[in-house]
Amino acid sequence: VIPLVFGEVFKFIIDPACTTVFEAETEEADIMERKPRSIKTRLFNTKADTISDIQGIVALALVIVVYLYANSMSLGIDTARTMAFTTIVLTNIALIITNRSWKLSIIGIFRRPNKAFWQILTLALIALLLVIYVPPLSGLFQFTALAPLDLLICLMAGFGSIIWFEVCKVVKHGRLVA
């Protein structure tokens, strides 16, 4: 049952993000200066696939690290489960944020208007807090209320999953637009 719940998290966050957040994005400033994509170029290419694969692998690795950390600290299986779930949600949010632009910095991305993004972000965070801190809901998932330090660890792991991609943006573009 728990793996099914985790799978639904992806649908709860990623599906609305793909259909609303990314569709509502404004174009990059240099869109009209770029050469058009060649008709022979595949829509799905190795570069994008590789980046997506690495993003997923890094996210999974950090979720596993958080889960193993909770177990090694003898926090209990319910806390470990809660921390893993929280890290999955926060990692998905971080991936949405960083993929809104492959040129802008995180600061620049947050400055970019996108009402759908803020709605999805708010809804996801409220839902996360509800299933962690409201006993009838947390009981359904066998979650426990996280201590502030445990929540901070999840937050650091979630947003730590995109640091490498932000560095790649800087390397590719020389500097990021804030």
Q: Which residues, in sequence order, are CB contacts of 160 under 8 Å at separation 6+?
A: 62
- Which letter does DSSP use for residue 34 in this model? S
- Which letter does DSSP use for residue 17 in this model? I
Q: Which residues, in sequence order, are CB contacts of 49 under 8 Å at separation 6+?
A: none
In the prediction, which pLDDT does 171 show? 79
User: Which two structure tokens, joined as six digits, stand for 46?
Assistant: 């190795």
User: Which two structure tokens, joined as six digits, stand for 80?
Assistant: 């470990």
Can you say whether residue 142 is alpha, beta or left, with left for phi > 0 and alpha for psi between -120 and 50 degrees?
Answer: left
In the prediction, which pLDDT does 95 show? 87
pLDDT digits (tens, 9 = 90+) for 40-98: 777 667 777 788 888 888 889 999 999 999 999 989 999 999 999 999 999 988 988 88
For tokens 């200066």, name the residue: 33
Could you tell me the pTM of the whole model? 0.78
In the prediction, which pLDDT does 26 show? 62
